[in-house]
Amino acid sequence: MQYPLGADIIILSWDRIDDTIAAITSALNQALDACKVIVVDQGSKPENVNQLREFETRCNTAKLQCIYLQENLGVAGGRNVAAEHGQYRYIIALDNDAEFADQHQVQRAVTLMESEPETAAFGFRIKCFGEDIDDASSWSYPQVMKQFADKSFASTHFVGAGHILRRDAFTKVGMYDDVLFFMLEEKDLSMRLLNAGYHIRYEPTVEIAHKVAAEHRVQWSGNRWQFNVRNTLYIQLKQSGLGAKWLFSAVLFLHKGIRSQLLTKTLNGIWLALKLMPTARKKAKTNPFYAVSASTMLYCRKCEGTDTFTPWQRFTRRVFKANRRVAK
């Protein structure tokens, strides 16, 4: 299917209404004409929903569409709803506590995607709001942030706070898996995009400013760690089933959980992943892009700098990582 050239900017809203409205305003101010802003509210408090509705009425523009849900579908589910209401060739996701650096960022992102048809996603450079420093909390790449934040490089994934997706690639591989709800949804999608033959890149010339705040954040000592365990193991079930690799990962999580005094959350995460085994099997059977290809594995190892490692070196590297305590 041919999609018209342009971008749908999707924003998820869950309270934090002042920041959400600022994010929407930043998106509406983008210079690209072929652009629509799609906001999905996921069960915010009534007073915040009313404020968002009033803002939508004041804007009075066809470039803004707000969708009001009665429940929180999670990051993956909410983004799918927003994406399904769009029509343009590219999907740009912006966190509701972030803003574009200026009015030319979306145009720049679209131009980059048009010049690289083999690329399915770009992760944007994310800086702290009001400061000319990079946001360490949004840097999940193996490269050292201080050395690589201003450089473009091939990556195995993109960061959720600000990124652009090629719509046809996104649709082809099955969109986000809403079972994940929260955490690792970008990495899960990224692996499917790579398996489909696309590339992913970090691109510092497109910038957003991120307001890093504690409100509505889930701490590692709470459900965040449990979601991390569950989702990692669930993704592995979809990719390779219940085997030695999965059991090894579960053991490493147990070790890390014990060292970090998070044993109960770790056990809960493992159990919840096992309960999702029928779902994982069904998805793996109906979606061919979950199976990790040899070319994808080599690409990932090159991005991570482990392509020259021996199997033993990769094994000890994983064990070393598992030996670190979780930062609370």
The amino acid that residue 139 corresponds to is W
Which tokens go with 36?
Answer: 């629509």
For residue 56, give its domain range.
Answer: 7-210
DSSP E strands: which ranges in 157-254? Answer: 162-166, 199-210
Which tokens go with 307?
Answer: 């392509």
Q: Which of 129, 93, 109 is nearest to 19 (CA)?
A: 129
Per-residue model confidence (pLDDT) at position 218: 45
DSSP assigned state of 221: I
Check whether residue 262 and residue 225 sit in a common domain: yes
Check whether residue 206 and residue 227 sit in a common domain: no
- Find the CATH number of the domain harbouring 101: 3.90.550.10
Per-residue model confidence (pLDDT) at position 217: 47
Check whether residue 264 and residue 117 sit in a common domain: no
Per-residue model confidence (pLDDT) at position 29: 98
- Which residues are bridge partners to 12 per DSSP? 40
Per-residue model confidence (pLDDT) at position 220: 59
Check whether residue 224 and residue 206 sit in a common domain: no
244-259 vs 263-275: helix crossing angle, rounded to 10: 160
Residue 152 domain-assigned?
yes
Residue 230 domain-assigned?
yes
How far apart CA 157 and CA 80 sit, in angstroms, is: 18
Residue 82 domain-assigned?
yes
Measure CA 70 to chain center.
Answer: 23
Check whether residue 143 and residue 16 sit in a common domain: yes
The count of structural domains within the chain is 2
Instruction: Answer for the pair 55, 21: CB distance below 8 angstroms, yes or no.
Output: yes
Check whether residue 163 and residue 32 sit in a common domain: yes
Instruction: Answer for the pair 77, 37: CB distance below 8 angstroms, yes or no.
Output: no
Check whether residue 141 and residue 160 sit in a common domain: yes
Check whether residue 119 and residue 27 sit in a common domain: yes
Per-residue model confidence (pLDDT) at position 318: 86
Across the 328 residues of the chain, what is the mean pLDDT of every consecutive 10-residue run?
96 96 98 98 97 97 97 97 98 98 98 98 97 94 96 97 98 98 97 98 98 56 88 98 95 94 96 98 98 96 92 87 73
Check whether residue 171 and residue 35 sit in a common domain: yes
Per-residue model confidence (pLDDT) at position 215: 44
